[in-house]
Amino acid sequence: AQKVTQAQTEISVVEKEDVTLDCVYETRDTTYYLFWYKQPPSGELVFLIRRNSFDEQNEISGRYSWNFQKSTSSFNFTITASQVVDSAVYFCALSEIMNYGGSQGNLIFGKGTKLSVKP
């Protein structure tokens, strides 16, 4: 069965520290997609990144970077030089295919990691 584990329930850092949010997944699918979403205190859910299982290159976007390692089934998210505005709950999600052809599916979410960045 598909499963996403975010073992870190809450993390607290001081501004400008680097922080890594862990995501470990289990899947029966040979092709799959991984996502990260951000939920700031205002409550909306914001898409950050999508990665497919064939692309193991790390990705960097400004202060954000993602490390995808198939060998360890992990898709970790690092924020460099954290800022107060990074305070949010971050969710990792995994695709779940619902039909044999792979054309239909849903997202399975982890339980989230609450990041607090203090000034």
Give the footprint of other proteins on this chain (CB under 8 A). Answer: 6, 9, 33, 35, 37, 43-45, 47, 50, 91, 93, 95-98, 103-112
Of 20 and 106, which has the nearer Cβ to other proteins? Answer: 106
CA–CA dist 24, 99 (Å, integer): 24
Give least dist CB 51 to other proteins, A: 12
Contact 31, 95 (CB under 8 A): no
Considering all CA atoms of the chain, what is the largest pairwise distance in Å, rounded to the nearest integer? 50
For 10, the 3-state DSSP assignment is strand
Main-chain dihedrals φ then ψ at residue 17, nearest 5 degrees = -75, 155
Give least dist CB 118 to other proteins, A: 22
Of 6 and 82, which has the nearer Cβ to other proteins? Answer: 6
37 closest CA partner among 103, 113, 117: 113
Give least dist CB 84 to other proteins, A: 22
Of 14 and 102, which has the nearer Cβ to other proteins? Answer: 102
Of 88 and 93, which has the nearer Cβ to other proteins? Answer: 93
CA–CA dist 93, 16 (Å, integer): 27
Give least dist CB 32 to other proteins, A: 8
